[in-house]
Structure 1
């Protein structure tokens, strides 16, 4: 390697490029200092030092902004272009290192040290040259961007250093890598580095080729699918199927994205959508999947109504829509109050139990309105298949979700008031037990992850406020009843019925029949007579039907021109409704022997029950008639055994049970009767028949009896008291343990009744019987 000295050569910084020795190329020069350096070179020996900028963004580079190692070149030609730029043709001469940076008047110059390659070629250099050429040839074959002529030209070069420089100039390297080769003075080292670079570039080309093949295959597959889809579109268009599934898939995808599903459900929906896209439209499975997707999209997943927790407003709505029902209204207002304080409360499951027509369903609707929630109702009467609640498996023909999911879709929000009507009317058979399926729905610990067989994905029911209605609590299975808060609606008193008729039912019927308040008026006394003589019920349905009948007759009179205004009074009531249907007060007209009035709690509310006992000569048979259930039969047996044990105290013959047959009958024999509260009534009627003492006509009684004469507590005191009030009784005998239940009886009923709590049958007989034994 030889070194030469050259003093103060003009310096030209290059931006984004590098010149190797022996290279000839054109440069465009535009910067003022560079132009001055060129002109200075042309004035002297046409030599100029070219070095590369480290940062291409700098317009006026200094000493630290350029590489020290560059190339001493000779300017072969210079041409000024119209835009002011100078185009020059330069030829690289040799490597040069800047030893001193000099600032002239209008340009920069450098004191250089020159490096000239050794021309000697030993065996190692020859081996390196051959390897480099072999690699370069392989690279050219892979790249196909360098012509064969270029390789031939490179092969003819004898100088190893020059060959390395020329090869590097043809490779797509970064500027820093080229600079590194330029700065490598030693020829052997330079050859080794170039071989390494070519080898790396070959590996990169191999990878690029592999990637290119994969991309090509993917593109070919995509293009094929696109072509087939376009063909399918054309075929479907010809068949009149519009755009087939393509537009439908896009629409369904958008709907799934907007439905607000949980991530798990969304992924399941998209999987089904992918299947739907692949299944032919004529396939039966296509309609099954589409129906399933429609259900998933239609269900509310996040949409909720904002609860209106204004207690005063809720109270006004409940009072406006319903008269009475104080306990139920209090419970709803308590729920709203707690929710307002806690901001989060799982919906309670309230079960409204009461006779038909007392307003259970309409009360549920008012609760929803008072809370500002959507209302949805499903009827469970006659449901005997578990799949009615949980839905059918999608593999079945005609599969549908269960009624719970159907109700949620109908509600449109995740927090409606959901009414499960007639929950006591569910039955079971070989298809399963629907009441067991309801356990998951109504259990606050489980309904957060309710699973419907059709939907398959879990659905959150924890925000729903469930309400249930029932006529008879006894027919609701124990586990299901345990999950509900029971609120009993006993029925309405006569005063309440008149209020309801005046404030709610009559205005509603007048409006429905196209009348006005001025065209039809019903006096309060006439309303009272309708309640007493034309209805016998705990609720108000029959009362509403009678008012509707009056409205129809009034409408006929007005339309025919017979009258312009109808006023209903006690006098003309029979002309409109016919003869009285019921006798007000079912109590006996006079005291009788062997007939006692019991109190019963039926599905239509409280009622009275006449129990008759007659004695006939015989052999001591006990005959029971009136379609009595097992419980009442056992009560009759217990009452008869009690009377036999008290024969001496009651002054009865010792052998009365051997000389006469005792026939106990409960009228309305076709109606099934059962219940644990007729014991003392049967015993009283028995004693009356055997002793000849009369039973007081105004006395009603309820309670179970033991063999020793103890009176046991019963249920439904409130309902039975209201039934006794309707029947015109004035004295009620109840078990002493039920004394606490008297407070539940409405004040208007309590005022007209006298309650006698008793603990033993002797007290019952003393209160109920009159006269001396015969």
Structure 2
């Protein structure tokens, strides 16, 4: 409450001598009245009202004294402070509720010498305390200015003081009156205010007021800093809080929620029903207690709700029942995938073991093969066959370890890793989880995801996998993991060591034909809204599509080409043409355009310096011709065709071998000093690398140096050493398929690759002659004809 000075004072300091010795006494509960101030008071006690009635005839003078205990309803003289204020009752108003409202003005300090209540109300024998005169020194003037400055500072910090009080304070030069004015507007404690009232010396009183005001400034400054810090957060959340309150009121009206306090009870019920393991239950309970202490709209409360929802949504004790009927599984795999017999056999073996020993460790197969051969769809078929949930997690391009292990909750936007999210999505603790493209994991400053996968996949430690977000162990030992990759070279060695690699080779033309008939054509017809009444694709059209429009190990591009045919027919049907369309090899170009690839074929005749090699790429096998040409020079070696470092080294090794065996190979000695040798591998825009072209380069070189043509029906693959040994290579199945497609009759292979040929179905090797070699001299004997009579003048004989 703000108190103001009266413009016309009924009594001055000099007139205090006219005040009677005995005056009615009005006890005050929680306020101290200072001289010269006008204050409204409400009087309810009967004794106090009688004291006021007796004061009105006696110049309206009354003594105001503050109670020591505000709760005391019937105070006596001992219950009052001994120093009070003589005041004049300026106005009196009786209210309807039995109370009396008065307006009093303080006149002077007074000491209560004796207090009685013989007349039915309190009376006091008083002695006024005169205001001492003050000499205006520099110290006093400085103190007055300091107090006035503090008063202005208090106002700027937000304390409500009226402009009239500030104006009066600015005009006052009396230390005592300034001290009383300031003290009455500080809202000080009763004890501090009473101490100021009892101080008779004006200078000492002003110093005491100065100390209280300085303390008040400090408090207000800290309060303002706290308010400033909180203001930003309040402004940001004010709109959200208002909307949430509206939403809460709407939900309560709809009966969706009964009370905000039910949230904690609901979480407690969920924790009890979830049957969490002990570490998870303790963590959930601990986080719930934190949530209970927070304001519902606090930012941290939202984070805790998200954590609890994630923790409780995980399938801690939910399992899907396995239905391992090997005959049924085999039927499903055969129906969904044609071929791939080795892979299907390995999967059936693993499921047979699981049926006999249900508590066996999780399956850890890694399917490695070119794109489009059915690696991902195999996992989906296995899950369908045994009745497990299927979770597909693509790891291609993942380079942050937190994608596997999750983010710690201290980070903004933290969330669990993909493994935990996959389990939450599946809703069971034992799904079949396919980790796709594991060979394309990244590795940078954010960690190594492949290393994080070790804990996920290792059966010795994944029973207590700890996601950084959850912070509690989760058992992954019941999960059946299936991984896919195109190559194994880029898989981290420690991770590759834990996997059982199962290789998938590319499909043959016959296999692609069957797949197209059984799966691709019906699927694309259905997706295009067509039936057999609208479109028929002949076998010759499918064979030409496979040979001339696709060049892949899988069937993805083949499916796209079939879809292209279907869309063109679908347009005709949509435009009103209801006739049936039959696509044959003759009209195939009308639907697919000009063929994209020429058919692989052997050379028209044997040529000097041109050898056919067998290459293995990510999309299958291919026939690669290596060309060698002699030029006038000083014995240099020129390599073109965008060759990799390994392939270049193979060329140098082949040349060194040819130099060391020149006499045996029928090469003139001066050829190496008078000619340069140029090696080129066509299709120069395509990068090529690997050691398997070693004997092919050596054959082309020796053919050019010795002028002996290479037999056109012979293709070869193998690595060469400086001693002339032929080392084994990979991709034998794909290379044999490429040789068969090109019309090759004889295939030269390293002797150590002979077991690989035995694993290839008999229908694929039928009609091919295999020559297994250990030294490159055997290659030359099988691939080179007799020496030419004349040296070609320029280039390679086309």
**Fold in common (TM above 0.5):** yes
Deviations 1:518-554 (A, max 9, x none): 2211111221111111111100011101110110111
Give 1:722's aligned residue. 737
Give 2:585's aligned residue. 570
| Residue from 573, 576, 588 that aligns with 1:561 | 576
Give 1:90's aligned residue. none
1:279–1:736 CA distance, 2 compared to 1 (3 A): same
2:728–2:752 CA contact under 8 A, matched in 1 = yes
2:600–2:623 CA contact under 8 A, matched in 1 = no
The 5 Å alignment of 1:284-683 reads 284-683=299-698
1:694–1:429 CA distance, 2 compared to 1 (3 A): same
2:695–2:779 CA contact under 8 A, matched in 1 = yes
Report how far residue 729 of structure 1 moved: 2.2
1:632–1:674 CA contact under 8 A, matched in 2 = yes
Say yes or no: does 1:762 pair with 2:790.
Answer: no
* SS of structure 1 residue aligned to 2:525: helix
* SS of structure 1 residue aligned to 2:303: helix
Mapped partners of 1:236, 1:524: distance in 2 = 66
2:606–2:710 CA contact under 8 A, matched in 1 = yes
The 5 Å alignment of 1:152-171 reads none
Mapped partners of 1:237, 1:585: distance in 2 = 74
Say yes or no: does 1:263 pair with 2:296.
Answer: no
2:332–2:381 CA contact under 8 A, matched in 1 = yes
Mapped partners of 1:238, 1:343: distance in 2 = 54
1:253–1:728 CA distance, 2 compared to 1 (3 A): farther
Mapped partners of 1:422, 1:386: distance in 2 = 16
Report how far residue 608 of structure 1 moved: 2.2
The 5 Å alignment of 1:76-91 reads none
Q: Which moved more, 1:395-404 or 1:235-244?
A: 235-244
Report how far residue 697 of structure 1 moved: 2.0
1:236–1:347 CA distance, 2 compared to 1 (3 A): closer
1:236–1:244 CA contact under 8 A, matched in 2 = no
2:406–2:468 CA contact under 8 A, matched in 1 = yes
Mapped partners of 1:434, 1:333: distance in 2 = 30
Report how far residue 483 of structure 1 moved: 0.8
Deviations 1:122-158 (A, max 9, x none): xxxxxxxxxxxxxxxxxxxxxxxxxxxxxxxxxxxxx
The 5 Å alignment of 1:84-163 reads none
Q: Which of the two has higher C-alpha Rg?
A: 1
Mapped partners of 2:722, 2:439: distance in 1 = 34
Mapped partners of 1:573, 1:329: distance in 2 = 35
1:590–1:697 CA contact under 8 A, matched in 2 = yes
Specify every segment of 5 or more residues in structure 1 that has no aligned partner in the other structure, as ranges. Answer: 1-232
1:584–1:728 CA contact under 8 A, matched in 2 = no
Mapped partners of 1:279, 1:753: distance in 2 = 79
* SS of structure 1 residue aligned to 2:328: helix
1:597–1:609 CA contact under 8 A, matched in 2 = yes
Q: Which moved more, 1:582-591 or 1:234-243?
A: 234-243
Report how far residue 655 of structure 1 moved: 2.8
* SS of structure 1 residue aligned to 2:770: strand
Report how far residue 440 of structure 1 moved: 1.0
Deviations 1:316-357 (A, max 9, x none): 101110000001111111112111212321122111111111
1:723–1:246 CA distance, 2 compared to 1 (3 A): farther
1:272–1:587 CA distance, 2 compared to 1 (3 A): farther
Q: Which moved more, 1:574-583 or 1:393-402?
A: 574-583
1:637–1:322 CA distance, 2 compared to 1 (3 A): same
1:697–1:491 CA distance, 2 compared to 1 (3 A): same
Mapped partners of 1:744, 1:697: distance in 2 = 27
1:625–1:245 CA distance, 2 compared to 1 (3 A): farther
- Pairwise CA RMSD: 1.9
Give 2:727's aligned residue. 712
Mapped partners of 2:313, 2:425: distance in 1 = 9
Mapped partners of 1:234, 1:609: distance in 2 = 73
2:642–2:687 CA contact under 8 A, matched in 1 = yes
Deviations 1:199-247 (A, max 9, x none): xxxxxxxxxxxxxxxxxxxxxxxxxxxxxxxxxx999978956566412
Give 1:205's aligned residue. none
Mapped partners of 1:265, 1:383: distance in 2 = 28
* SS of structure 2 residue aligned to 1:649: helix
Q: How many residues are treated as equivalent by the alignment? A: 542
TM-score scaled by structure 1? Answer: 0.68
The 5 Å alignment of 1:235-274 reads 240=248, 245-274=260-289
